[in-house]
Amino acid sequence: MKFKYIGFFIALMCTAVSFGQIKITGTVKDKGAVPIPGVNIVVKGASTNTSTDFDGKFAIEVPNKNAQIELSFVGFANKIVPVGDKTNFDIVLEESSQALDEIVVVGYAAVKKSDVTSSISSVKGKELQTMTVGNVTESLQGKVSGVQVVGAGGPGAQPRVLIRGISTVNLSTDPLYVVDGIPMGTSINFLSNNEIESMEVLKDASASAIYGSRASNGVILITTKKGKVGKTRFNFDTSSGMQFMNNPYHMADAQSYATIMNTAYNNSGYSDYLPNPSQYQGKTTDWWNAGIRKASPVVNASLGVTGGSEKHTFAISLNYYNSESMYEVGGWERITMRIANDFKFSDKFSAGITLNPRYETYGSPGNWADFDKIDPITPIYKPADQLNGTENEYSIYARSPSYIWNPVAAVKRYDDFTDQYNLNTNGYLQYTPIKGLVIRSQASIEVGDIVRNKFSPDFVIDAAHEKAEINSVEKWNTTDVNWSWQNTATYTRTFAEKHNASLMIGNTMEEYNQSKLWGYGEGVPNNSDSMRELDAATKNRNSSGNRTSNSLMSYISRFSYNYDGKYYLTGTFRRDGSSKFMENNKWANFPSASVSWRILNEDFMESTKDVLSDLRFRAGWGKVGNQNLPSAVYQSNIGTGFYPIGSDIADTSYPSTMANKDIKWETVEDVSFGLDFGLWKNKLSGSLEYYQKKTNDMLFLKQFPTYSGFPGYSTMWTNVGSMKSNGVDLLVSYKDKKGDFSYGVDVTFTTVNVKMINLSADGEKLYGSSNRTLTVEGNEPGYFYGYVADGLFQNQTELNSHTDEHGTKLQPYAQVGDVRFKDINGDGKLDDKDRTKIGSPWADYNVGLNLTFAYKNFDLVANFYSSIGNDLINQNISDLYNGASLTNKVNGLDQMAWHGEGTSNYVPRLSKDDNNENFTKFSSLYVEDGSYVRMKNLQVGYSFYNKFGLDKLRLSLSGQNLWTWTNYTGVDPEVGGGVLGSGFGGWNYPVQPTILMGLNVAF
């Protein structure tokens, strides 16, 4: 009976408590008025909690009106809301300015940013989406310290990306791209900006060693967008506009051209080349406007759908990109789709699968320089009296005496296009048998087919110099089948509240298979589109094919530990075995270690926390490798050719490549030290890092010396030596908000100094770019190597005094107005021994400036990038200033060139013969300062929220590459190239100014 009274008393008390409680409801959204599902809501001082539903709605009971609720969600600042007399709330969460709890992806894992001990930079997808580019790495330019991006220009061209400079001299310098955990090689042309959630750049070996033999050039991790719990949401994003191609030079018209050429001829003792130049007044052929479009369209569009429940989330995106070329034909068109599904079967089992089909087509003429170089007197078409009515459509064009093939005709004949089809499938299965232990298996397979079709029609513009008397058809087919399989087990546990440890072990397997077929034939009955097939060829049919395969097996591990959020330690170890090496050198080990001291969390720093929000010291060491060389280089190969014996042609065979069974891994070892800081709740934040890395056993394809008995073009892969580099990365960021106005300033600063330590033989020299660059011990690789142009001979006295000790002229064919070349070694002769270092393509500094502003619904983004201290070779100087050829010249050259004492000390006199080799000697005449500052992007936008039945509607206007400051007189200062041939500019396809309108709709 007494228990009944006790039960009645407890029920009465509970009723009293319930009568005292207040039920409140509300909705939680971001500042864009988009509901946020999954927000954690806690009643302060009580155990009551809940979370928002799919629509951001919640309901919770609080004890009284004096209560407070606290809201928290990843990526947003925590918010405390007093209840008061309200029972319904509309709460807006602000994105967190405290970046320390952001999640950063590292190799085979994701950790809090505050737990990172290595050099890793993270860029969110929304920062990349402000630019419309075909390759997302262009959007990285200037946004990440330590990363140099050189735009390639042209539809489908891939930018050159260098992470902390170069690590090799003869192999690719591109980083490894890993998309959703799967290594994807050195190109991400297949990804759209709108598909990316975040990009992490692993800059030092302590971060990238987990990728072992493929990480010597750094690693870029890309996480694509995934589905989120909540109602289905749609996002449509598009931008379209025009790319502008302005003539980089003011070329001479017909009359000026005649005057310039006559001067060159007269200076060499000849009569006028084109008598009476005034007869050409008003008769200029405007080649540029005839073949180059002033503006070409570019379109980027994306439709995304996300949503799901606690058991299943999905994300689907369809993306389209089209960039037309500057000609009437050609361009790059890409269609990609990404379908991601993630399933949660229980608290222990989850799985996911992503499908990524894509299609690309590309091709473009590459002769735009000819529209400037061809003479302005030749007409585009043959005069009517030169036609006999039997010509086909490709033979009606005129021939230029300049030996530049008619560029309008060349574009008309162009038919060389590539279609690419790919399907990538990536799936994972994850099992958590006990708390803290995660077992994950992930597999990917990619199948790709590249089909290139080329047709060259028959034509006769000039029977001696510009013709193809028989047409030809070619077809290349390349099929790739690549797969990878990764298995990892990760155990994470906290001991005694302050000891946090994590251990990951696993293995990976990768295989890459490629088969190639090539077919060729001539004599297609006619040039019609329907006949441009191999089966239509009637003569000289030929074909070839080959298949290659290589594989990689790896064992990986990582151990992480931190004590009380103050002291951090991370160690990784990877062991790689590659099929590209023989048994003795097949396996290599790649360890790394890094430590971090979170100084701010020390007790003695407590008094500084009103000012300091982060202060951390980092140090790391590691080894990574490079095996990016062809398959089976340990085998010797036989080449085929022919040799004339009398009137007969004999087939020949020769050793083309020789085996090197001792070939081994190229390795890079580096150390880095970093300091991260934050002040005033991270309004001001940044990092300063110093790094030093050394490359050993560099892989290089060397030619055999002639005395070896092998042909001079026989080659062998070998390990040639080592080099080292060091530098500083700096990032400073300031962000603040004043009422409705917010702004941010990010500055990135990078230095790289690289030097060869040794080569495989004492005094060995590595030449590149037709012997115009040199690599030797004690200097940077690939520096420009040539003669020093010491101004021009201004008078006869200067010419006569340029002699050896016996009075013999060093330049016997020189005349006043010619280039004076320095006798560097002072031996009284001007020969190959006088070539020396005349410049370097490597920049001293790279600087980025990124500005963001927002006022109410307006926003503005401005990005600038600068390369400082590098030299470039302007190969156009010979085309523009050299009177020895009949190509067109820059307007006013007759006055720019030396034509009397003091008139010029740079542009030599005009000469038909150029007996002094002013332009044929590679000299400092071609070297120019390649420094530049470029406005990469300027975008202004306005957003409507909850208008027109939409969650968000944003309109934007953008300008890309609108302004460039440089002293370089070439076409474009963004010049790439291989390590031993970097910095050679000229008629490179320029990065084009672009104006775009944008529309973003979310609902």
Classify each residue of 23-35 as buried b or exposed e, where b means 16 or more C-beta atoms within 10 Å of its C-beta.
ebebbbbbeebeb
* 60 and 139 co-located in one domain: no
Confidence label for 341 from pLDDT (cuts 50, 70 and 90): very high
**Count of other CB atoms within 10 angstroms of residue 822:** 18
- The answer to whether the beta carbons of residues 587 and 575 sit under 8 Å apart is yes
Tokens of residue 424, six digits: 């990538």
Q: CA 398, CA 926: separation in Å to the nearest integer?
A: 33
In degrees rounded to 5, what are phi and psi of residue 926?
A: -90, -10
pLDDT, greater one: 70 or 559: 559
Q: Vertex 308, ends 304 and 310: CA angle to 5°?
A: 150
Distance of alpha carbon 962 from alpha carbon 974, whole angstroms: 14
Backbone φ and ψ for 585, nearest 5 degrees, come out as: -120, 15
Decide: 709 and 807 in contact? Cβ < 8 Å.
no
Average pLDDT, stretch 973-977? Answer: 88
The tally of CA atoms less than 13 A away on the side-chain side of residue 252 is 30
What is the distance, to the nearest Å, from the Cα of residue 205 to the centroid of all Cα atoms in its chain?
Answer: 20
**Between residues 103 and 58, the one the model is more confident about:** 58
The number of domains in the chain is 3
Q: Tokens for 802?
A: 């340029």
Q: Which domain holds residue 42?
A: 22-92
**Are 75 and 122 within one domain?**
no
- Give bridge partners of residue 958 from the DSSP assignment: 939, 996
Which 8-state DSSP code applies to residue 84?
A: T
Show the tokens assigned to 138.
Answer: 């262009």
Question: Highest mean pLDDT range out of 14-23, 106-115, 375-384?
Answer: 375-384
Looking at the fold, whether 75 and 124 belong to one and the same domain comes out as: no
Answer for the pair 93, 73: CB distance below 8 angstroms, yes or no: yes
SS (H, E, C) 548-566: EEEEEEEEEEEEEEEECCC
pLDDT at 721 over 60: yes
Angle at alpha carbon of residue 358, lines to 355 and 359, rounded to 5°: 160
Q: Please give the Cα distance from 1002 to 954 (Å, whole number).
A: 9
**Residue 374 and residue 888 in contact, taking contact as beta carbons nearer than 8 Å:** yes
Three-state secondary-structure class, residue 919: coil
Q: 3-state secondary structure string, 836-877?
A: EEEECCCCCEEEEEEEEEEECCEEEEEEEEEEECCEEEECHH
Mean pLDDT of 112-120: 81
Backbone angle region of 246, left / alpha / beta, with phi > 0 → left and psi within -120 to 50 → alpha: beta
Is-contact 717 656, C-beta < 8 A? no
Residue 896 lies in a domain: no
Query: Looking at this protein, which amino acid is placed at residue 926?
Result: Y
Spatial contact of 633 and 660, defined as CB atoms under 8 Å apart: yes
pLDDT band at 20; cut points 50, 70, 90: low
Q: How would residue 104 be classed by pLDDT, with cut points 50, 70 and 90?
A: confident
Q: Does 87 map to a domain?
A: yes
In a domain, 934, yes or no: no
Question: Distance (Å, rounded) from C-alpha 770 to C-alpha 586?
Answer: 34
Distance set, CA 922 to CA 139, 775, 786, 787 (Å): 36, 17, 5, 6
Residue at which a domain ends, from 225, 246, 261: 225
Q: Give Cα 172 to chain centroid, integer Å.
A: 13
Lowest mean pLDDT of 74-88, 169-183, 447-461, name the range.
Answer: 74-88
Is 784:871 a contact under the CB 8 Å cutoff?
A: yes
Q: What are 558's two structure tokens?
A: 């990582």
Across residues 720-729, what is the average pLDDT? 91
Number of neighbouring beta carbons within 10 Å of residue 137: 24
Query: Residue 80 is part of a domain; what is its CATH number?
Result: 2.60.40.1120
Judged by average pLDDT, the poorest of 17-26, 172-181, 563-572 is 17-26
Are 133 and 202 members of one domain?
Answer: yes
Least confident of 30-34, 54-58, 880-884: 30-34
CATH code of residue 117: 2.170.130.10
Cα-to-chain-centroid distance, residue 698: 23
Question: CB-based contacts of 521: which residues, under 8 Å, 6+ apart?
Answer: 472, 473, 534, 536, 537, 538, 539, 540, 541, 542
Q: What is the DSSP letter of 833?
A: G
pLDDT digits (tens, 9 = 90+) for 798-836: 999 999 888 889 999 999 999 999 999 988 899 999 999
The closest of 624, 724, 725, 612 to 675, measured between CA atoms, is 612
Q: Specify which residues 775 forms β-bridges with.
A: 766
Q: Is residue 430 part of a domain?
A: no
Average pLDDT for 736-753: 91
| 120 and 73 within one domain | no
**Sorting pLDDT into bands at 50, 70 and 90, what band is 18?**
very low
Point out the domain boundary residue: 92, 111, 130: 92
Q: Is residue 205 part of a domain?
A: yes
Q: Are residues 131 and 179 in the same domain?
A: yes
Pure H helices in 671-822: 796-801
Model pLDDT, residue 281: 93
Residue 876 near residue 971 (C-beta atoms within 8 A): yes
- CB atoms near residue 995 (< 10 Å): 15
Tens of pLDDT, residues 60-77 = 988 888 888 888 776 677
- Please give the average per-residue pLDDT across 921-948, as a whole number: 93
More confident residue, 223 or 104: 223
State how far Cα 3 lies from the chain centre.
77
The single-letter DSSP state of residue 534 is G
Residue 151 lies in a domain: yes
Q: Return the structure tokens found at 695.
A: 């490359």
- Residue 9: the pLDDT is 44
Beta strands 715-719 and 648-658, pairing class: parallel
- Per-residue pLDDT of 440-464, as tens digits, reads 999 999 999 999 999 999 999 998 8
pLDDT of residue 932 exceeding 80: yes
Position 585 pLDDT exceeds 90: no
β-bridge partners, 487: 441, 507
Strand order in the sheet with 88-93: 57-62, 22-30, 88-93
How many of the other CB atoms lie within 10 Å of CB of 513?
14
What residue type is assigned to position 147 of the chain?
A: V
Using pLDDT thresholds of 50, 70 and 90, give the confidence band for residue 16. very low
Element (H, E) at 500: strand 499-522
Confidence of residue 13 (pLDDT cuts 50, 70, 90): very low
pLDDT given at position 6: 46
Do 132 and 208 share a domain, yes or no?
yes
What are the tens digits of pLDDT across the range 869-900? 999 999 999 999 999 999 999 999 999 999 99
Q: What's the farthest any 2 CA atoms get from each other in the chain?
A: 134
Residues 6+ apart with CB under 8 A from 661: 582, 584, 634
Q: Residue 490 corresponds to which tokens in the numbers above? A: 């990760």
Question: Do β-strands 176-179 and 219-224 pair in parallel, antiparallel, or remain unpaired?
Answer: parallel
Nearest C-alpha neighbor of 135 from the set 362, 340, 355: 362
* Co-location of 185 and 216 in the same domain: yes
The pLDDT confidence band at residue 655, using thresholds 50, 70 and 90, is: low
Nearest one of 180, 225, 222, 185 to 202, comparing CA atoms: 222
Look-up: residue for tokens 């944008």? 998
Within a 10 A sphere around the Cβ of 850, how many other Cβ atoms?
A: 21
Q: CA 169 to CA 978: how far, in whole Å?
A: 8
Mean pLDDT, to the nearest integer, of 954-983? 92
Q: Are residues 52 and 110 in the same domain?
A: no
* Sequential DSSP letters for 86-132: -SEEEEEEPBPS-GGG-EEEETTEEEEGGG--S-EEEEEHHHHTTS-
Same domain, 44 and 139: no
Clarify whether residues 190 and 117 are in a common domain: yes
Q: Which residues contact 599 (CB under 8 A, 6 or more apart)?
A: 605, 615, 616, 617
Q: What is the pLDDT of residue 75?
A: 64
Contact 758, 868 (CB under 8 A): no
Residue 62 lies in a domain: yes
State yes or no: pLDDT of 708 exceeds 50. Answer: yes
The partner residues of 929 in beta bridges, in order of sequence, read 871
The answer to whether 920 touches 914, Cβ cutoff 8 Å, is yes
What is the rounded CA–CA span in Å between residue 645 and residue 628? 41
* pLDDT grade for 96, boundaries at 50, 70 and 90: low
Residue 400 domain-assigned? yes
Which among 560, 594, 556 is positioned nearest to 575, based on CA atoms? 556
d(CA 135, CA 133) in angstroms, rounded, equals 6
Quick one: 136 and 215 in the same domain?
A: yes
User: What letters, b where the CB count within 10 A reaches 16 and e where it falls short, cover 616-646?
Assistant: bebbbbbbbbbbbbebebbeeeeeeeeeeee
Structure tokens at 373: 């170089």
Res 705: pLDDT: 60
Q: Which of 358, 385, 413 is the last residue of a domain?
A: 413
Chain segment 273-285, per-residue pLDDT in tens: 999 999 999 999 9
